[in-house]
Amino acid sequence: MANFDLIVIGAGPGGYVCAIRAAQLGLKVACVEGRETLGGTCLNVGCIPSKALLNATHHLHEAQENFPKMGLMGVKPKVDWAQMLAYKDDVIAQNTKGIEFLFKKNKVTWLKGWASIPAAGQVKVGDELHEAKHIVIATGSEAASLPGVTVDEKVIVTSTGALALEKLPKKMVVIGGGVIGLEMGSVYARLGAEVTVIEYLDRLIPGNDGEIAKTFQRILKKQGMEFILGAAVQGAEVKKGKASVTYKLRKDDSEHSIEADCVLLATGRKPYTDGLGLEALGVTLTKRGQIETDAHYATSVKGIHAIGDAITGPMLAHKAEDEGMAVAEILAGQAGHVNYGVIPGVIYTTPEVASVGETEETLKDAGRAYKVGKFSFMGNGRAKAVFQGEGFVKILVDAESDRILGAHLIGPMAGDLIHEICVAMEFGAAAEDLARTCHAHPTFSEAVREAALACGDGAIHA
C-alpha cells in the first residue's frame, strides 16, 4: 500500500493537468490510467489524431484545388491511406510520450491499471490498495449510443473507429451534425467520399450562433457534403459489408433509407464512470449520469472530487484542463476558479468555427439589449490571399456599456483568433478596447479589430 496526498483517476487532459499542477504545488500525487499510454481519449482517439487527419486532408485539398491557382503546377498527389494513418499514429505517440515525460519531471506516480474506490480515501488498482487524502475522478466520457444502431467499429463506427478505418469509404453516412460528425465527415469528404450528414434538429451545431450554423452548412455543402436535417434515425444494419440507415423526417413522419460503406455514429458523448463503485459509495449522480459536484468540485462523499466530462458542463478538453488546475489549487489551499462564461469552442474544419460567450439567441431569450459588430473576411487581404474569404467575425456587446458579451467566428484560424476576444472578456473589456488596439497588417486578426470597430462608428474596410 502506498500513501498519497492526491490520487487522480484518469490521465486525460483534466486528469493529467490536475496531477501535474498538484505536484507543482507540493502534493505527493499519483494518477491512475488503464490505457497503455497517457492522455486519455483526447490524445489517443480524439482531439489530437482527428486534427492530424484534418491537417493532412486540408493540405490534400490545397494541392488539388488551390496549388494551380497559385502557379504551383505538377502531378496532383495521391492518397496513401496507410501512410496517412501512420502519420496520425506518430503524432499520437509524440504527444502521449510527452505526458509520460511530464509525469516523470514532476514526480507524478503512474499507477497502471483500472481503478475502483472501495471507500473514501482508498483507491484500488488491480490487487493493490492505495490511500489518499484526496481523490479526483477525471474518467472522461465515451461515445453515446443510439437505439437500433449497433457499433462494430468496422462498418458502423464511433469517432474511435473512424480514426482507423481499414480502407477509405466511397459513401459515408454521419449520424449527428455536431462537432465530431462534421470534423470527421470533412476529413472523408476531402478524401473523396460522398458524405451525408443526418441530424435530428433542423440545423447543424446546436447551441452555436444561428447565423454561423447557416453559413457553415452552406460552405460545407459547397465542399461536397450533403445534409438531411430534421430526421430521426430509426436504425442501421449491416449486410454483406454494407450499411443501411433508416430515418424518419420529422416534418411528415415519412420513412427513408440510405446505404453507405461506413456509418459514423456521432450523437454526442456520455460520462464514463463504470467500475468505480460510485453507487456503493453513495456518490450522487445527476439524471444524465454525471457526477454531482459543488462549486469546489466536491462530490457528496467527503474527500472525493470530480472534474471534466464526468461532471456537468461542456465536454471540452480545455474545460477539463481548467477544472483540473482549479481543483488542484483548491486542494493545495489556494483559490482555484474557472470562468465558465469564457470557455471557447472550436470546430477544426476548413474554415474553422469558433465561439465564446453569449449568442444572439441567448441574449434575445434573456431580453438583454445588445449591439452586433460584424466583419466579413472578404474585406481581409490576408484571408483572400489564402482563398478563405467566405466567413466573418461577429462580436456581441452590451448596448449601454459596450462590454463584450460573446463572439462568433467562421474563417481562417478562427480557433486561434477567438483567444484575443477571450482575454478581453476575462478582463471585462469593451469592444472599443479591441478596436483601439493596434493589429499587425496583413493578418487574419485584423478582422477581429474591424468587427470591434463595427460595434461603434463602423468598420474601416467594410
pLDDT tens-digit readout, 382-408: 999 999 999 999 999 999 999 999 999
Residue 1 has pLDDT above 80, yes or no: no
Q: How far apart are CA 60 and CA 79, in angstroms?
A: 8
For residue 301, CA distances in Å to 45, 278, 280, 305 come to 32, 10, 11, 8
Q: How far apart are CA 142 and CA 123, in angstroms?
A: 22
For 139, half-sphere exposure in the C-beta direction (CA atoms, 13 angstrom radius) is 24
Count of H helices and E strands in the chain? Answer: 14, 22
**CA nearest neighbour of 442 among 434, 431, 450:** 450
Q: How far apart are CA 160 and CA 23, in angstroms?
A: 31
Catalytic, 134? Answer: no
Query: What is this structure's pTM?
Result: 0.96
Q: Which residues contact 83 (CB under 8 A, 6 or more apart)?
A: none
Residue 441 burial by CB count (10 A; 0-12/13-18/19+): exposed, middle or buried? exposed
The answer, yes or no, to whether the previous bond of 314 is cis (omega within 30 of 0) is no
Q: How far apart are CA 229 and CA 67, in angstroms?
A: 34
Cell of residue 196, nine digits: 451525408
- Start-end of H helices in 158-250: 159-162, 179-190, 210-222
Q: What percent of the chain has pLDDT over 70?
A: 100
pLDDT tens-digit readout, 345-356: 999 999 999 999
Q: pLDDT band at residue 195, thresholds of 50, 70 and 90?
A: very high
Q: How far apart are CA 394 and CA 372, in angstroms?
A: 7
pLDDT tens-digit readout, 280-292: 999 999 999 999 9
**Averaged pLDDT for residues 41-64:** 97
Q: Out of 59, 256, 296, 441, which one is annotated catalytic?
A: 441
For 428, half-sphere exposure in the C-beta direction (CA atoms, 13 angstrom radius) is 1
How high is the pLDDT of residue 312?
A: 97
What spatial distance separates the first Cα and last Cα of the chain, rounded to whole Å? 67
Residue 2 has pLDDT above 90, yes or no: no
pLDDT tens-digit readout, 125-151: 999 999 999 999 999 999 999 999 999
Query: Do 173 and 235 form a contact (C-beta atoms < 8 A)?
Result: no
How high is the pLDDT of residue 451?
A: 98
Cell of residue 161, nine digits: 473507429
The answer, yes or no, to whether the previous bond of 351 is cis (omega within 30 of 0) is yes
pLDDT tens-digit readout, 292-344: 999 999 999 999 999 999 999 999 999 999 999 999 999 999 999 999 999 99
